Chains A and B, each alone.
Chain A
Amino acid sequence: MSNEQAVNLKPETLDPKPESHPMNYLLREDRLPHIWCPGCGIGVALSCFLKALQKSGLDLDKVAVVSGIGCTGRVAGYVKLDSFHTTHGRAIPFATGLKLANPELKVVVFSGDGDLIAIGGNHLIHAARRNVDMTVICINNFNYGMTGGQVGPTTPTGAITSTSPYGCFEHPFNIPYLAAASGAVYVARWTALHVRRLEKSILEALGKRGFSFVEVISPCPTLYGRWNKQRTGLDQMQYYHDRGVIKHGIDPKEVDIGLHGEIIEGVFVDIEKPTFLDFYSRALAESVG
């Protein structure tokens, strides 16, 4: 990571003996250390988000982060922005209210696969359908981490979890396909290993008007990995390295994830269409005046 910082920061801005990390002003330092396990990918994704935020040039007073419940739900509590840690699954409709009440805000939902795809699945598809202007970053670690590693809607068929001791009997959601079919204007997937590409995608998503969606495949060595022959964070990163395949523009229908199969990454959807507020203000101009 230190090499990457050196690349991203101009040498003259580097303090030879920095008192704090150059991204610390974006974090609530008084809340650190965070709760995430060693080897977890959520912190990696958060770093990518914060770097993208730095590059975006957005007014940080106008950026709000909304999370639901779960390991990733804790992101909102660490960012030094207006940040909301809401109820399980409801980050997206909360973010919808925030954005529509104050369209000046750049609203980012940062939450996990259980939160956004299971209990919050209905909200996800409807916000995408309405094309509400927000960026959703979805950490997918294939299980419910906070409660101890239970099976979820993204768990690959056959995977062992604490509530699928004989292997998961269900078909998992293909999240990019779901987001794309529901109407998202930007859909990308990266693993927590591919940090530069992930950061670039988050930056692109932040720049989109409308509902943009970035899935981050993330290690959970403490739970999911341990039970599925990827005992350490490094094992999982190695797997992403060996089986990650970049296919930009591929039909999201084709990006299912199997238990030991390849992980297709890339930007799958990047289109333009009117947002909820575009339609709302157009209708107003035409009929109300």
Chain B
Amino acid sequence: MNGDGVLTGEFFMMGDVACAEGAISAGCRFFGGYPITPATEIAERMSERMPRVGGTYIQMEDELASMIVVLGASWGGVKAMTATSGPGFSLMMENLGLGIMTETPCVLVNVQRGDPSTGLPTLVGQGDMMQARWGSHGHYEIIALSPSSPQELFDLTIRAFNLSEKYRTPVLVMTDAEVGHMTEKVVIPPPEEIEIVPRRKPTVPPHEYLPYRADDDLVPPMANAGEGYRFHVTGLTHDERGYPVMDAEAQERLISRLVEKIRRNKDDIIQLEEDGLEDAEVVVCSYGISARTALWPVELARKEGIKVGNLRLITVWPFPEERIRRLARKVKAFVVPELNYGQIVLEVERCAAGQAEVILVRHAGGDIHDPQKVLEAIRRAAR
């Protein structure tokens, strides 16, 4: 380990642990959380590592507190994270909304398990994808990333921190029990090879500082508490001063900026992995562990002569609408395997808008898809 806390080297590492190491490599120095299967290993790793890198670990009384302690820490000037699974994710929705409204950078990891309610604590699910999009009340845009391997859990946790600072918003890492508990080779690069986005600080003296006056990219610079800016922050609709304003005009101005700062920067935020889409007639659109399950059936289908390609959503939210629309104009069908009864498939259908068939391969979770079922769907799509 070097001075930055980066554990440079090659490891045989569990996904949850790689997530914690990704956070530390990104500069995270505060973790507040509550134990929950299958995310607990992230908290355990952070409890061991935070003190050694000059950070703080605190185990809160519940997930309501875990989410907001992270917001408090972020305003204290420290990069901060929490991690949970479905039931805890539900409790975090309240203060995720506060984080969005107050434009507080932080990272929330959801290691999804079988659902709903207590569901299958130790087994995999992908049922929280729409909750990630709409779970907190009100209209907002969110950034959510979906890793498919422990290495990617490391990489995307760093990216999540960078996006959260760049766009001043909470960022979700939507992984699952399979990826979180999988142990694989993880390479942690030297710190100089890791891109870190620092917090955008005010360039004006305190008496001129307006905490919610945005730069041209719609993102306002952020002062931390204790730096002499004496700013006010509220979850109420507010103006550039951060003061509550209770009228329709202020609401329109604030909400449109919060939404547009994400929408206008989709090209920067959206990350996809494409394979064999050039001449594809069928596109398997998947994410997280389901994208790995899809690899083998795609290979088998190609051997059968079916022109099938892979589109893996590394960024799930904001949804890659344009890419799906363009593909829909030239392919016959999309096949969407997911560990729920149809969530991301709804977005694919919306964007395909009837121009291509959309086939869901549903599975309620508990284990991964039977690859044969994905293969059958590809065959059906190709007919």
Contact = CB atoms under 8 A, between A and B. Distances in A.
Contacts of A99: 72, 76
Q: Which 6 A-B pairs have the closest CB atoms?
A: A97-B72, A101-B76, A97-B73, A93-B65, A85-B234, A101-B73
B104 to A, nearest CB: 10
Contacts of A102: 76-78, 224-226
A123 B62 CA distance: 9
Interface in A77-124: 77, 80-87, 89-90, 93-102, 104-105, 122-123
Interface stretch (A16-24, A205-213, A280-288): A280-288
B140 interface: no
Which bracket fits the contact residues of A?
Answer: 35 or more
A288 B48 CA distance: 10
Interface in B353-383: none
A96 B226 contact: no
A100 B232 contact: no
B56 A280 contact: yes
Interface of B: 29-30, 32, 51-52, 56, 58, 60-62, 64-66, 68-78, 80, 94-95, 97-98, 224-236, 241, 243-244
B226 A82 contact: yes
Interface of A: 28, 30-31, 60-62, 64, 66, 76-77, 80-87, 89-90, 93-102, 104-105, 122-123, 126, 276, 280, 283-284, 288
Contacts of B231: 82-83
A97 B76 contact: yes
A31 B69 CA distance: 28
6 contacts: A31-B243, A64-B225, A76-B234, A98-B75, A126-B60, A276-B58
A60 B228 CA distance: 8
Contacts of B62: 122
A112 to B, nearest CB: 16
A77 B243 contact: yes
Given A84-B75, A102-B77, A102-B224, A97 B229 contact: no
Nearest to B79: A101
A77 B234 contact: yes
Given A85-B232, A86-B235, A288-B52, A96 B76 contact: no
A123 B67 CA distance: 13
A101 B57 CA distance: 10
A96 to B, nearest CB: 5
A196 to B, nearest CB: 28
B107 to A, nearest CB: 14
Contacts of A84: 72, 75, 225, 232-234
B30 A100 contact: yes
A93 B71 CA distance: 9
A83 B224 contact: no
